[in-house]
Structure 1
Amino acid sequence: MNIKEAKTEIINTIRAYNKKDDLGCYTFPLVRQRPILLMGPPGIGKTAIMEQAARECRVGLVAYTITHHTRQSAIGLPHIETKMYQGKEVSVTEYTLSEIIASVYRCMEDTGNKEGILFIDEINCVSETLAPTMLQFLQNKTFGSHKVPRGWIIVAAGNPPQYNKSVREFDIVTLDRVRKIDVEADCDVWMEYACRQEVHQAILSYLRIKKENFYSVENTVDGKFFVTARGWEDLSEILKSYEAFQIPITEALVSQYLQKEETARDFTAYYQLYRKYGTDYGITDILEGSLSDRDYEEKAAMAGKGGFEERFTVVNLLMGALHTSFAGFAGREGKLISLHEALGYLKNYVREHGEIQEIEAFIQNRRNSMEVKIEAGLMTEKEIGKENWVIGKLEEYCLNLKKEHIRKSSEGFERIKEYFSRETHERSKEIEKILEQTERAFRFAEKSFGDGQEMVLFVSGLTQDTLAMDFLSLHESPLYMKWSEKLLYRKEEEKLLEECRKEESMLE
């Protein structure tokens, strides 16, 4: 199973385990709620999908790497209590609340989420003293004498023995009480995720050409050599940062993230080519239509005569430039939607308040609400950025009303609607610009590569880009439609030919 399928399984489990009847009572028997045990190589995104699943299901998340804990922090500290048994007073050892269980309750208090995921990573690498506690946890959903609260599902993760010498094998009794899911690295699935996460376009381009270098873990007599999904994603961030400061990208830097010499060297060389081709071809000028006819013809001819790697890199440069436009539009579209929703709330607010100063109170209430959510950990960095933009726009509108000496809130709201219409007008101009860029990219690809495999890569790459599809499904690009239909027809034709060949071979 790949990591995307594992995420879907976790989401389905949350919904199944936490299903309630009409009276609000859980319907799934607690004794049958098996914990999920994810087993797979390191760095493929097991922790990341926990965050995504929790966010999509709107539940809490408490994550622990269990190797960082002792037996005392896991099950609590012992203390002596006096009990009466059959009329006799005896001293009994009990335990304080487990730090892990306490974190679950703290999450419930901070976020208001009464349901969630308790994620325990590296569960099969615990110390000898903690191993029995972990087995009890998986089998009985307790740490010591403290139960995991109802509504919280347990997900544990570990690495197979070939990746970690300290791994402990689970016995059949334990495995018979969990849902074991084996997860494998999958480049195509990660690329889909990487596009959404704005991973550096040079990395995406490289892995489209050399998928075999996506993931590798080797234990040899000479040492450990590995390349992981986590390494690529972290490398992406340092590339963006270094480029912003114009710091050179060296093999020494890349090898800090891709700890396999051959892959680090190969990617560094490709990165330098990617940057050079981006300069040589002037992709931005091609999409803006600012090249002279002569320069345009020269670049199209250069691309058509290039070697395999150069041609595919040019296609990836085109896709990368378009993706940047699609991503920018998606970000601004999300902000406009949030602003429109805020204006809906403001409309109801001004009905009840007459003076323009009340709009300022509305803005302040919204800011206060955001700060409370940030404190509770209920907002991502992107959500915080979007909300700050919305509040900034509302403050800008309010300032404009003051400049125009508008005092009545009802009149002010009508003026605000006019301000917002300017935003939507700019949106229409941006849509038109991106469609023109898309058409120019296709015309350049047509002139350079005809209907060769480069065009297949171009169309399929756009089709797999969720941001591109979000845009093109609403705003039609004639050339995208033409080539996607043509390639679909070609696939159907090849499928029919293959079926005919099978029929012929059977007759023979």
Structure 2
Amino acid sequence: MNIQQAKEQIRQAVMIYLMKDEYGNYRIPLERQRPVFLIGAPGIGKTAIMEQIARELDISLVSYSMTHHTRQSALGLPFISRKSYQGEACNVSEYTMSEIIASMYENMEKSGKKEGILFLDEINCVSETLGPSMLQFLQYKTFGNHQIPRGWVVVTAGNPPEYNRSVHEFDIVTLDRLKVLKAEPDYATWKTYAEKQGIHKAIQSYLDINPDDFYSIETTIDGKNYVTARGWEDLSEAIFLYEEQSFPVDEMLIGQYLHHPRIAAEFATYYQLYRKYREDYQVRRILDGTAESQIVARAGKAPFDERITLLGLLTEALLPEIRQNVREEDCLKGLHAGLAEIGAGIQEKNARSVSELLTEAMQKEEQKLEELTAANGITDDERLRRQYPIAFAGECLKDFRLEKPAGSDKEFEIVKRIFSGRVSSMKEETSRISREISNVFDFVSRAFGDGNEMLLLVTELTVNDYSVRFLSAHGNEEYFRYHKKFMLSEREKELSREVNAI
């Protein structure tokens, strides 16, 4: 199975383990809840899907890599306790609470969530001294004398032995206590993830042309050469920031993330070509609708690889702008609801000032942000939606101090002025982006007609969550025309296949 299929299997397991009867008892007792054991090559996204599951189910997540633990840190430290049995006093060895279990209780206090996932990575690489205790944990969910809290589901992960010499293969007794899933690297699945995460288009375009380079681990006489999904994603983040600072993105940098000489060298060459095309095709002028006729002619005569790269450059320029605009609109909608409450509040008898209400709203958002962060259950979009009103309130309070308005009504006028300014800026950006999308469709139509390049452009805008939301909200005649055309074309092909089969 691929990593997305594994995610769905784990999500369903967590859901049934957390199901309760009418009295609030878990329908599957903790002792009978088989921990999930996800086996997958390094860097395919095991930790990432656990974060996604926790967010989607609105529960906490505590993660540990078991290779970092000794028997003492996992089980707790021994101490002497004085006890009395049948009237006779004696010294007894007991254990302090496990660091792992203690962190779960700390998470519950900070996040306010009583249910969660305990994710133990690299569980098949534990030290020999800890191995026997892990068998007890997998069946009884206890470290030492302490059991994990009720409402917490255990998910474990590990690498296959061919990827890690520290792996200890589990015996039948251990495996019989686990729900075992095996995930394989799959570029098609990762591409969907890459679109949502905004992975650098140079990487996506390169892998579209060279999908076999997505994941590779091989042993040579000089050692292991490897490239993983994690490596591509981390390289993407580095490239964005290096470009922002005008630092060179060369093979020396790329080789720090792609530990495979051939792939690192070929991607470095492709990246330089990618940058050259960015300048040669004057991408910004295409978006502005001022591309010269010779640029259109060159694109029409370009080989397939160059066309794919050009489409990547166009969507690379469009999608971040669309993402920023959609997120800004989301934040303003949420902020509008909050400001409406403040506006109604200042009309009440004995109402507090706008300053007090804004300060209180800031504190609530900061508290909620702290709880969500503690639970490891917050996306980048959710974090922005929480931070946005905090920053807005800070700007308003700053203007209050500068302008010293007399009374709540005057304070609220300042609030509305700042809010209206942000809305106007957002709407101007929306109009500009809509024009850019139309200009891109016009360029692709003039250069390539209604061929595969147009289909690829429509597909790129359709699979990206932000562009779909933008186009659904604000429309675009060219997009919907081509989308309808290609969808009908696919249906005609499907019908033709069915007829031929009959």
- TM-score w.r.t. the length of structure 1 is 0.91
Aligned pairs (5 A) from 1:433-448: 433-448=432-447
Question: Corresponding residue for 1:272?
Answer: 272
Provide Cα deviations, 1:313-366, integer angstroms capped at 9, x if missing partner: 1111122222122111122123212322321332344244767x8222223223
Instruction: Tell me the CA shift for residue 403 of structure 1.
Output: 7.2
Q: Is the 8 A contact 1:283 1:317 kept in 2?
A: yes
In structure 2, distance between residues paired with 1:338 and 1:398: 19
Letter in 1 for 2:499: C
Question: Corresponding residue for 2:160?
Answer: 160
In structure 2, distance between residues paired with 1:484 and 1:383: 30
Query: Unpaired segments of 5 or more residues in structure 1?
Result: 504-508
Letter in 1 for 2:455: V
Letter in 2 for 1:6: A
- TM-score w.r.t. the length of structure 2 is 0.92
Letter in 2 for 1:335: C
Instruction: Tell me the CA shift for residue 387 of structure 1.
Output: 3.8
Q: Is the 8 A contact 1:354 1:408 kept in 2?
A: no
For the residue of structure 2 that corresponds to 1:167, the secondary structure is coil
Q: Is the 8 A contact 1:351 1:410 kept in 2?
A: no
Question: Corresponding residue for 1:506?
Answer: none
In structure 2, distance between residues paired with 1:198 and 1:492: 30
Alpha carbons of structure 1 residues 351 and 183: separation in structure 2 relative to 1, 3 Å = farther
In structure 1, distance between residues paired with 2:93 and 2:2: 45
Question: Corresponding residue for 1:390?
Answer: 389
For the residue of structure 2 that corresponds to 1:247, the secondary structure is coil
In structure 2, distance between residues paired with 1:423 and 1:253: 39
Instruction: Tell me the CA shift for residue 397 of structure 1.
Output: 4.1
In structure 2, distance between residues paired with 1:254 and 1:180: 35
Aligned pairs (5 A) from 1:333-482: 333-352=329-348, 358-373=353-368, 376=371, 377-378=373-374, 383-397=382-396, 406-410=405-409, 412-413=411-412, 416-417=415-416, 419-482=418-481
Instruction: Tell me the CA shift for residue 192 of structure 1.
Output: 2.0
Aligned pairs (5 A) from 1:48-127: 48-86=48-86, 88-127=88-127
Query: Unpaired segments of 5 or more residues in structure 2?
Result: none
In structure 2, distance between residues paired with 1:161 and 1:240: 35
Letter in 2 for 1:363: L
Instruction: Tell me the CA shift for residue 239 of structure 1.
Output: 1.0
Question: Corresponding residue for 2:179?
Answer: 179
In structure 2, distance between residues paired with 1:414 and 1:15: 48
In structure 2, distance between residues paired with 1:289 and 1:411: 44
Instruction: Tell me the CA shift for residue 205 of structure 1.
Output: 1.9
Q: How many residues align?
A: 498
In structure 2, distance between residues paired with 1:475 and 1:238: 33
Question: Corresponding residue for 1:485?
Answer: 484
Q: Is the 8 A contact 2:354 2:412 kept in 1?
A: no
Provide Cα deviations, 1:142-201, integer angstroms capped at 9, x if missing partner: 112211110010010000111112211112222222111111112222222222222222
Of 329, 345, 351, which aligns to 2:325? 329
Question: Corresponding residue for 1:312?
Answer: 308
In structure 2, distance between residues paired with 1:415 and 1:67: 56
Provide Cα deviations, 1:448-467, integer angstroms capped at 9, x if missing partner: 11122222221222211111
Q: Is the 8 A contact 2:116 2:152 kept in 1?
A: yes
- Higher relative contact order, structure no. (Cα contacts within 8 Å, ≥ 6 residues apart): 2
Alpha carbons of structure 1 residues 303 and 408: separation in structure 2 relative to 1, 3 Å = same
Letter in 1 for 2:305: E
Question: Corresponding residue for 2:7?
Answer: 7
In structure 1, distance between residues paired with 2:55 and 2:247: 36
Alpha carbons of structure 1 residues 359 and 10: separation in structure 2 relative to 1, 3 Å = farther
For the residue of structure 2 that corresponds to 1:219, the secondary structure is strand
Provide Cα deviations, 1:262-319, integer angstroms capped at 9, x if missing partner: 111111111111111111111111111234xxx1x21111001011111111111122
Q: Is the 8 A contact 2:217 2:225 kept in 1?
A: yes
Letter in 1 for 2:78: P
Per mean C-alpha deviation after superposition, the further-off stretch among 313-322 and 345-354 is 345-354
In structure 1, distance between residues paired with 2:276 and 2:436: 22
For the residue of structure 1 that corresponds to 2:157, the secondary structure is strand
Instruction: Tell me the CA shift for residue 23 of structure 1.
Output: 4.5
Question: Corresponding residue for 1:242?
Answer: 242
Provide Cα deviations, 1:28-86, integer angstroms capped at 9, x if missing partner: 33233111111000011111122222222222221111111101111111223344445
Alpha carbons of structure 1 residues 414 and 19: separation in structure 2 relative to 1, 3 Å = farther
For the residue of structure 2 that corresponds to 1:474, the secondary structure is helix
Question: Corresponding residue for 1:206?
Answer: 206
Alpha carbons of structure 1 residues 205 and 169: separation in structure 2 relative to 1, 3 Å = same
Letter in 2 for 1:444: F
Q: Does 1:28 align with 2:28?
A: yes
For the residue of structure 1 that corresponds to 2:461, the secondary structure is helix
For the residue of structure 2 that corresponds to 1:264, the secondary structure is helix
Q: Is the 8 A contact 1:354 1:409 kept in 2?
A: no
Alpha carbons of structure 1 residues 331 and 353: separation in structure 2 relative to 1, 3 Å = farther
Q: Is the 8 A contact 2:458 2:483 kept in 1?
A: yes
Q: Is the 8 A contact 2:322 2:470 kept in 1?
A: yes
Letter in 2 for 1:178: L
In structure 2, distance between residues paired with 1:484 and 1:144: 60
Provide Cα deviations, 1:353-403, integer angstroms capped at 9, x if missing partner: 767x82222232233344445555346666555444323333444565677
Instruction: Tell me the CA shift for residue 409 of structure 1.
Output: 2.1
In structure 2, distance between residues paired with 1:392 and 1:95: 47
Question: Corresponding residue for 1:138?
Answer: 138
In structure 2, distance between residues paired with 1:353 and 1:14: 49
Q: Is the 8 A contact 2:125 2:166 kept in 1?
A: yes
Q: Is the 8 A contact 1:65 1:120 kept in 2?
A: yes
